[in-house]
Amino acid sequence: MDNSYKIAIIGGTGKVGRHIAAQAIQKGYHVRMLVRNPEKLLYKNDAIEIVKGQVQDIENIRELLKDSQVVINTFGQPTKEEPIYSKVTNNIFNVMKELNISRYIGVSGGSLTIKEDEKSIMNRLGAKIFEVFLSKMMQDKKLEWEYLLNNKQIKWTLIRLPFVKDSLISSQIKENLTDMPGTKITNQDIATFIIDHIDNTKYVHKAPFISH
């Protein structure tokens, strides 16, 4: 593990992002976060470099990513706004290519279904419900996935999550490439999994499910 890495975090003020920032600092990484409202930061540390801006602004993305080696994206879709996951990922990847950054870790929901999946009946039903009631979001998630598939020069990993529980209690993390192995996971353990896979190539160009 190269702890001299600078990690650029998008979504650092969210429930998962702040745990990622805290664990990255503890591991000795340099951290830079894109923050729309710095005054709303729940986790504050002088070791974190803050870039004030919005994820929709590609110039803010450039400022965030300069001299970084790893990009972690836990951006949360703003409520009542048009889905922008695919556009955000597209902008991030374009800047990563400009700056020769190769490692990207993002998150998505377990409702995203890809060609290799072998989901249980219950999980297939859950995914179908999302597609019916959150159709715009799911279409955008699928566009994001297609974009990842077409950008193999970047070492990306997309982690698919179940219900996220806000807790500092850790449990054994289950991993599966074809179906969600459980129903929930803590944001603390999501952060642990992400930090542990910065230098781990096991899931490069893959979309593992993780849960408890």
Cα 115 to its chain centre, rounded Å, is 21
What is the C-alpha separation between 83 and 66, in angstroms, rounded?
A: 26
The widest CA-to-CA distance across the chain, in whole angstroms, is 48
Residue 42 above 90 pLDDT? no
Domain 6-211 fold? Rossmann fold (3.40.50)
What is the C-alpha separation between 30 and 8, in angstroms, rounded?
A: 9
Q: Nearest-5° angle of CA 190, CA 205, CA 177?
A: 60
Quick: pLDDT tens for 151-200. Answer: 999 999 999 999 999 888 889 999 999 999 999 999 999 999 999 999 99
What is the C-alpha separation between 110 and 105, in angstroms, rounded?
A: 16
Quick: pLDDT tens for 135-151. Answer: 999 999 999 999 999 99
pTM of the model: 0.95
Quick: pLDDT tens for 82-128. Answer: 889 999 999 999 999 999 999 999 999 999 999 999 999 999 999 99
Tokens representing residue 154 in the block: 């970047």
pLDDT averaged over every residue in the chain: 92
The ranges assigned to domains in the chain are 6-211
Tokens representing residue 29 in the block: 């990484």
Token pair 């999994």: residue: 193
Tokens representing residue 193 in the block: 């999994």
**Which residue(s) pair with 31 in the sheet?**
7, 48
